[in-house]
């Protein structure tokens, strides 16, 4: 309830500032450029609306963290949307890299406008994220601004390192779970930890609390990704008989698969024989479960969730926003299968 109420005031502020920033490209002669971004952000084109925008988890995390430090969250909105724009830049490029046709049920930018324009549209979102971040110097002392900028840029470097590993892993046979954790630390956790850390910096938290919030975002990201891996094999949409949405069919080297491969049993044997067909997804997920991967993965989600919540408690978040952060973590990490 507390979360819903805060979201009621934060989400419109986030959306307004996102719109304002993207409208920097709204010039005569570049309407189509602007349209590519408004389409991707979920505001225009077929299927536009709340389902298309995504949940804006990253800016919410930043603003809730800022507010949980007993600070006014309004001046932090530019920084918060900067993080959402970075997330969206990475999605646009990711869709090209993975050759994904659909994102949230809609055609991806590269499918609509071609690869060259989509690369450039992703670049533009990244550039806009920096312009948004520049805006915080109106309300914060320069030292805080510089600190926030460095955290964001380092998170971006970790993000691209994670992306490098993810693309590399497609070609590699002998992946370990260590490789996996390193990849998702960059690809998923780095930006989420930047959200909570930047929120804490702008909220005036001391060094120890900043570190606790950073750690909260980090483990939240890891837990979220491992849960996503779990659902990709044992979730409803992965198991609906004819489903092609199973990560097994996609050949994704997720944590359960790496566990199965390390066991070198029946699952590993079938995996190395080549592409898994949709009708095998059910039986193979059952086999993986028997070999222990389901329990192992669920344990990993639970461990990361515990670490996230421990970190959040250590940060001693205050007031309604503090409560809302616990609610948000529980909402993201709730068992869906």
Contacts with a copy of itself by CB under 8 A lie at 24-25, 27, 29-30, 32-33, 93, 96-98, 115-117, 119-120, 122-124, 126-128, 130-131, 134, 137, 142-143, 145-146, 149-150, 153-154, 156-157, 160-161, 163-165, 167-168, 179, 182
Cβ-contact 88, 40 below 8 angstroms: yes
Nearer to a copy of itself, 117 or 303 (CB): 117
Cβ-contact 55, 193 below 8 angstroms: no
Nearer to a copy of itself, 123 or 306 (CB): 123
The residue behind tokens 């997804």 is 281
> Contacts for 52-57 with beta carbons within 8 Å, 24 or more apart?
52/104, 52/105, 52/106, 53/15, 54/104, 56/11, 56/14, 56/15, 56/84, 57/328, 57/332
Nearer to a copy of itself, 94 or 320 (CB): 94
Nearer to a copy of itself, 124 or 233 (CB): 124
d(CA 312, CA 213) in angstroms, rounded, equals 6
Shortest Å, Cβ 263 to a copy of itself: 24
Shortest Å, Cβ 41 to a copy of itself: 16
Q: Which two tokens stand for residue 258?
A: 């790496």
Shortest Å, Cβ 178 to a copy of itself: 9
Q: Which two tokens stand for residue 143?
A: 């030292």
Shortest Å, Cβ 21 to a copy of itself: 11
Cβ-contact 121, 95 below 8 angstroms: no
- DSSP calls for 37-77: HHHHTTSSSTT-SHHHH---HHHHHHHHHHHHTTS-SGGGH
Nearer to a copy of itself, 110 or 219 (CB): 110
Nearer to a copy of itself, 44 or 266 (CB): 44
Shortest Å, Cβ 221 to a copy of itself: 18
Shortest Å, Cβ 81 to a copy of itself: 15
- Phi, psi of 12, rounded to the nearest 5 degrees: -65, -35
Nearer to a copy of itself, 115 or 208 (CB): 115
d(CA 222, CA 158) in angstroms, rounded, equals 14
Cβ-contact 315, 209 below 8 angstroms: yes
Nearer to a copy of itself, 153 or 298 (CB): 153
Shortest Å, Cβ 57 to a copy of itself: 22
Shortest Å, Cβ 84 to a copy of itself: 17
d(CA 294, CA 227) in angstroms, rounded, equals 11
Q: Which of 305, 306, 309, 314 is nearest to 209 (CA)?
A: 314
């Amino acid at each position: 309830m507390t979360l819903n109420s805060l979201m009621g005031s934060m989400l419109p502020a986030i959306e307004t500032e996102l719109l304002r920033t993207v409208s920097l490209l709204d010039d005569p002669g570049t309407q189509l450029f602007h349209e590519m971004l408004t389409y991707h952000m979920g505001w225009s084109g077929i299927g536009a609306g709340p389902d298309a925008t995504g949940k804006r988890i990253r800016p919410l995390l930043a603003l809730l963290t800022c507010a949980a430090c007993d600070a006014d969250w309004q001046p932090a909105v530019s920084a918060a949307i900067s993080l959402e724009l970075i997330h969206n830049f990475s999605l646009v490029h990711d869709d090209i890299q993975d050759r994904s046709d659909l994102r949230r049920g809609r055609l991806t930018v590269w499918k609509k406008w071609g690869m060259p324009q989509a690369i450039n549209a992703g670049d533009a979102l990244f550039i806009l994220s920096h312009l948004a971040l520049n805006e915080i110097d109106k309300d914060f002392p320069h030292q805080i601004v510089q600190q926030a900028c460095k955290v964001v840029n380092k998170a971006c470097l970790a993000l691209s390192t994670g992306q490098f590993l993810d693309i590399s892993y497609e070609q590699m046979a002998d992946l370990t779970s260590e490789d996996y954790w390193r990849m998702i630390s960059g690809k998923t956790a780095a930006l989420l930890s930047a959200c909570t850390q930047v929120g804490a910096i702008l909220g005036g938290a001391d060094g120890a609390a900043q570190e606790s919030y950073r750690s909260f975002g980090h483990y939240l990201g890891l837990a979220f990704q491992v849960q996503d891996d779990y659902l990709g094999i044992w979730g409803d949409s992965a198991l609906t008989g004819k489903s092609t949405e199973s990560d097994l069919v996609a050949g994704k080297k997720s944590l359960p698969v790496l566990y199965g491969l390390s066991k070198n049993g029946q699952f590993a044997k079938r995996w190395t024989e080549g592409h898994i067909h949709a009708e095998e997804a059910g039986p193979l997920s059952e086999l993986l479960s028997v070999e222990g991967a389901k329990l192992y993965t669920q344990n990993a989600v639970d461990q990361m969730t515990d670490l996230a919540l421990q970190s959040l408690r250590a940060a001693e978040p205050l007031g309604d926003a503090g409560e809302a952060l616990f609610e948000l973590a529980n909402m993201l990490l709730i068992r869906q299968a």
